[in-house]
Amino acid sequence: AQSVAQPEDQVNVAEGNPLTVKCTYSVSGNPYLFWYVQYPNRGLQFLLKYITGDNLIKGSYGFEAEFNKSQTSFHLKKPSALVSDSALYFCAVRDLTDKLIFGTGTRLQVFP
């Protein structure tokens, strides 16, 4: 069965520093991987996705993700964090029946 894991419940980073939010996956076949962000009292917003090809994927709001097949990882990154990036981040994999299987979420806190 397809699954993703987000090993960190919370990540704290100072504004201006680089950030990484971790995600590992387990799939049969080629993975379709996604990152979503959820701001307080809002729905999920799509950030980026991996289909195939380049291992570094550029997304919205300056975020990018690095796909690593050998480590089965799909970490979300940003070179310089903003306080406004503070939110809940979800990694997801599309399963064989087209629904998304989500990780448990990682709360990102960026301190000024």
Do residues 67 and 55 make contact, with C-beta atoms less than 8 angstroms apart? Answer: yes
Do residues 96 and 2 make contact, with C-beta atoms less than 8 angstroms apart? Answer: yes
Query: Does residue 32 bind another protein (CB under 8 A)?
Result: yes
Query: Does residue 5 bind another protein (CB under 8 A)?
Result: no
Bridging pattern class, strands 87-94 and 33-38: antiparallel
Query: Does residue 83 bind another protein (CB under 8 A)?
Result: no
Give the one residue of 22, 49, 75, 107 binding another protein; rule: CB under 8 A: 49
DSSP H stretches of helix in 13-101: none
Rounded Cα–Cα distance for residues 75 and 101 (Å): 16
Query: Does residue 55 bind another protein (CB under 8 A)?
Result: no
Residues between 90 and 109 with contacts to another protein, criterion CB under 8 A: 90, 94, 97-105
Residues that bind another protein (CB under 8 A): 32, 34, 36, 41-46, 49, 51, 90, 94, 97-105
